[in-house]
Amino acid sequence: MMNIKQQIRALVHALSTAGLTFMLAAITGHAQAQSAIWPNKTVTIVVPFAPGGGTDIGTRIVAQRLSQLWGQSVVVDNRGGAGGNVGLEIVSRAKPDGYTLLTGNVGTQSINPTLYRKLNYNPDTAFTPIGLFAELPFVLTTTTSLPVNSVKALVDYAKANPNQLTYASSGNGGSPHLSAETFKIATGTQILHVPYKGGGAAMTDLIAGNVHMIFSSVLETSAHIKAGKLKALAITSKDRVSAMPDIPTLEEAGVVGAESGSWLGLLAPAGTPADVLEKVSRSLQQVVAMPEVKQQLLAQGAIAKSGSPQDFVQLIANDRKRYARIILDNKLTLD
């Protein structure tokens, strides 16, 4: 078993980032004593996407409970644009005092650093990972007017009509975008990408029939599927989800190598005092353990998931490595 110094070295190496300095301070006991008085005013959680998407919905569930725990308002500030990069840039420049936090997902933290040639912040040093709070399985969903009812039928239709089908996403570079590109590669299909400024706008156009399909979280899609406004063809995660037990996984539907999904976690600007971060981490784990929060997330198709900051660091690093291979091998980089 690694000793403390070895664990520190391994964590820093995992993301090659100076932004994890707070962890070293927390472990060695050199944090500033601020958590006793924090928070004494409103805390803002920046969601780097428009309202209505899975990241927004999940964050609002958690924010409500954090507000109750802390006895202070916790507001969600939607700052969408550029696949989440606009919101991340805002947080990277925020005062590192604990009053501005960020909800990151697999797209913003693990995909964008490779997908985008240039970012206006350093993804390795700008943010401090605090902890995970949900996993978001994706579902392949189509408009009701599309004459297919299975993944096989969709693939056959797409191959018979190359570049005639369209898929929506919450924006260039997000995990829904990359999930669809992974599906196209795995199935050898040609489907056109239509990016939107957030998952809510993409979902609205899909329901209206202006685009044909989408890869999005079960959380933001399930209510529309249950209402009969959309058709669910497959779950993109490894296992089926309890919110949609009758929907097969992509692998069960015959598509191998296209597994995808997202997760949600809190981060802070680098330099935020370590003891404040520890308080947020403890509070977040407490919230995620609440039965009512688990039920709220599950009802929307999300799975409550918590862990230590170290666990979150490793998840970000592992997913960055996995998606970097896909992005670079298929030359999916964006300006």
Per the CB < 8 A criterion, the answer to whether 47 and 59 are in contact is yes
> Is residue 8 predicted with pLDDT exceeding 50?
no
Asked if residue 312 has pLDDT above 90, the reply is yes
State residue 36's pLDDT score.
72
Lowest-confidence region among 139-153, 171-185, 212-226, 240-254: 171-185
Rounded to an integer, what distance in angstroms lies between the CA atom of residue 88 and that of residue 167? 25
The single-letter DSSP state of residue 229 is S
Mean pLDDT value across residues 169-198: 89
pLDDT band, residue 54 (cuts 50/70/90): confident
| Three-class SS state of 191 | coil
- Residue 1 burial (CB count, 10 A): 4
For residues 61-83, average pLDDT: 96
Give Cβ neighbours of residue 258 (< 8 Å, ≥ 6 apart): 179, 182, 183, 185, 186, 187, 236, 250
| Per-residue pLDDT, 177 | 86
Three-state DSSP at 239 gives: coil
Range name among 2-16, 134-148, 224-238 with the lowest pLDDT average: 2-16
Helix (H) or strand (E) run with residue 234 in it: strand 230-235
Domains 4-136+261-329 and 138-235 fall in the same CATH topology = yes
Distance (Å, whole) CA 247 – CA 224: 15
For the chain, how are helix, strand and coil distributed in percent, rounded to 5? 45, 20, 35
Of 213 and 3, more confident: 213
> For the chain, what's the residue count?
335
Instruction: Give the SS3 label for residue 264.
Output: strand
Q: What is the pLDDT of residue 33?
A: 52
pLDDT band at residue 6 using 50, 70 and 90 as cut-offs: very low
Q: What is the pLDDT of residue 93?
A: 98
Taking only the tens place, the pLDDT of each residue in 13-49 is 544 443 444 444 443 343 445 667 999 999 999 999 9
pLDDT digits (tens, 9 = 90+) for 81-130: 888 999 999 999 999 999 999 999 999 999 999 999 999 999 999 999 99
pLDDT tier at 169, thresholds 50, 70, 90:
very high
| Exposure string for 68-97, b = 16+ CB within 10 A, e = fewer | eebebebebbbbbbbbbbbbbbbbbebebb
Separation between Cα atoms, residue 115 and residue 211, nearest integer Å: 24
Domain 4-136+261-329 has CATH 3.40.190.150: yes
**Residue 305 CA to chain centroid, in angstroms?**
13
Domain boundaries, the chain: 4-136+261-329, 138-235
Give just the sign of the alpha carbon dihedral 74, 79, 82, 83.
positive
Average pLDDT for the chain: 88
Q: What percent of the chain has pLDDT over 90?
A: 67
Superfamily of domain 138-235 in the CATH hierarchy: Periplasmic binding protein-like II (3.40.190.10)
* pLDDT at residue 13 in the model: 54
Chain segment 227-238, per-residue pLDDT in tens: 999 999 999 988
Instruction: Fill in the DSSP letter of residue 107.
Output: I
Tokens in use for 193?
């990408």
**pLDDT band at 302, cuts 50/70/90?**
confident
Q: What is the mean pLDDT of residues 152-160?
A: 98
Tell me if 209 sits within 8 A of 146, measured CB to CB: no
Rounded percentage of the chain residues whose pLDDT exceeds 70: 90
For residue 1, name the pLDDT band (cuts at 50, 70, 90).
very low
Between 296 and 9, residue with greater pLDDT:
296
- Model pLDDT, residue 203: 94
| Average pLDDT of span 278-302 | 93
Q: What is the pLDDT of residue 66?
A: 98
Is it the case that residue 281 has pLDDT exceeding 90? yes
pLDDT at 5: 40
pLDDT at 141 over 90: yes
Q: What is the pLDDT of residue 34?
A: 65
